[in-house]
Amino acid sequence: MYLCRWLLSGKYLFGSWKASYNILSFENFDIIGWINGVGDVTNTSPFIYMEGSQIYGRGYESGDYDMHPNGSLIINEVKLKNEFNYTVLLVPPGGGNEYLNVPVKVYVSSDPGYPVVNGRTNQVVIHANTRGFMNCFLTGIRPRVHLEWVASPNEISLDSEHKVTDNNDGTYNTYLSSSYKVINSPTCRVSLICRVAGQMADLFPSVTTVYLLLEQRFPTVNGLADQQHVVLHVKREGELTCSMDKVSQDVSLELVTIFPDSSDEILLDSKNHIRVNGDDTVNITLTSRFRVLRRSIRNFILKCRVTGQAEDKYPEDTTVELLVTENFPVVNELVNQQHVVLEVSREDKLTCTMNRVSQTMVLEWVLTPPVSPDEISIENELSKTDNRMMGLLTLHSAQASVS
C-alpha cells in the first residue's frame, strides 16, 4: 500500500517572476527526471535527469534548469513560457517507471511588492475628512487578481469599484477605487488594509496598512486658517478669498449671502481659481468682489462652502461676518470723529488724512458757511503714499490764517 502525501511546494524566483508547482509523490519513490508534456511520454527522453548524484540533459546543459538532490525541478530564470504541464519520471521501490503530471504555474509579483494606496505603500497615513476617496492598485502582476479592503464595518463604510487591465505580456494591472464614509471614530483615527483577495492572498501576502487621521476640512477665508467663523472689518467695497488645499478635483467653492437675505442689498462677483497638484488633488481659491448697495447696512453674513458633486465629501463650511466701517477723513489724527472741535491760534497747522483709498482721490478743505478769502486763507500741500494698490492721502494745511 502506497502512502500519498504532498512532498514539496517549490517557488523559484528570478526578479519578480515565480514558478510554483506541487509534486504529488509516493514515499520511498525516487525522482529520476523531468519530461516536457503530458499523456503518453514513455518514449520521450527527459530534458533533465539524474543518475546517481550527476545531472544530465539538454535542459541542464543550456543552463535553463537544474535539479535539487531530492529531485525537485529548479527553473533558473522563470519566464512565461515555463507555465507548462511537465511530467515527472518516478521509480517505485519494486522497480519500473511511474509518470506523474505536474502543472507549473508562473506568478509575477508587483514592483513594489505592496499594494499602492494613494501613491504610497506598506504603511500609509492619510489626513482625511469623514468622507473621501482612496485608490489601491498593483501593476505588472500575474495571474489576474482582485484587491479588497479589510476594515471594521462599524467604523467605516466603503463603496468600491474594481478594474483589471491586460498588459499583453502575461501580466495585469488591478485597481480598486473606493469612496468611504467614516461612521464612528471616537479617536478620530480609522485603520484598514488593502490586500489581494481570495485564495491568491496566500501567493501575494504583502498588505498595505492605511491610517485615516480625521480632521475637519473647511474653507479658509482671507488666509485665516483654522477659523470656521471669521469676523472682518471692511469697507463697503472690497475683496474676499476663500480657499482649500489638497482637495479632490471635483471641488468647487461658492460664497452665499446668509444675512440679509435680499440679493438687492449686496453685490457679489466670484471666480474659482484652481491649481493642480501632482497627487490627484487640487488647491482651489474663490476670489469674490463685494459691494454693499444700501447705506443702511452695517453688517452682513456670508458663508463659503463646497458646492456640486463634492459637497458630501466636504460638508463643513466657513461663516464670514463682515462689519462695515465708514471711511471718512481724520483731522489732526483724531480718529473716529466726524465732528472735530479744535482750539487753535490765529495761525496754525491742520492735517486731514484718509487711509486705504483709491489713488485718484483728492482731499480739499471747504469752508462752511462760505467765508470771504479776506477773512481766512489756507495754504495746502497734498501727499500720497502707495499701500498695496490703495493710498494714504494726507492734506497738510501749512498755514491757516484768520484776519
Is residue 201 within a helix (H) or strand (E), and if so which, with residue range?
Answer: none
15's grid cell = 526578479
Q: Quick one: how far is CA 332 from the chain centroid?
A: 55
What pLDDT is attached to residue 385?
A: 75
CB 155 within 8 A of CB 182: yes
Hunting for cell 489581494 — which residue is that?
Answer: 196
Walk me through the domains of the chain, giving residue ranges and CATH numbers: 4-108 (2.60.40.10), 116-214 (2.60.40.10), 220-324 (2.60.40.10), 330-402 (no CATH)
Is residue 250 within a helix (H) or strand (E), and if so which, with residue range?
Answer: none
CB 100 within 8 A of CB 79: no
Query: From CA 308, how far away is CA 252, in angstroms rounded?
Result: 7
Torsional class of 41: left (φ above 0), alpha (ψ -120 to 50), beta (otherwise): alpha
- Sequence-ordered strand ranges (E) for 227-317: 229-234, 237-248, 252-259, 266-276, 281-292, 299-307
pTM: 0.51
What pLDDT is attached to residue 358?
A: 64
Collect all residues with Cβ–Cβ distance below 8 Å to 308 and sequence separation of at least 6.
250, 251, 252
Task: Tell me whether the omega of the peptide bond preceding residue 112 falls within 30 degrees of 0, making it cis.
Answer: yes
CB 260 within 8 A of CB 292: no
What pLDDT is attached to residue 145?
A: 93
Q: Quick one: how far is CA 110 from the chain centroid?
A: 22
What pLDDT is attached to residue 386?
A: 64
CB 279 within 8 A of CB 245: no
**Which parts of the chain register pLDDT below 50?**
1-16, 22-26, 388-390
What pLDDT is attached to residue 17?
A: 57
pLDDT in tens, 321-346: 998 877 778 888 888 788 889 888 88
Collect all residues with Cβ–Cβ distance below 8 Å to 68 and sequence separation of at least 6.
10, 74
| Residue (of 19, 36, 8, 21) closest to 142 by Cα position | 19
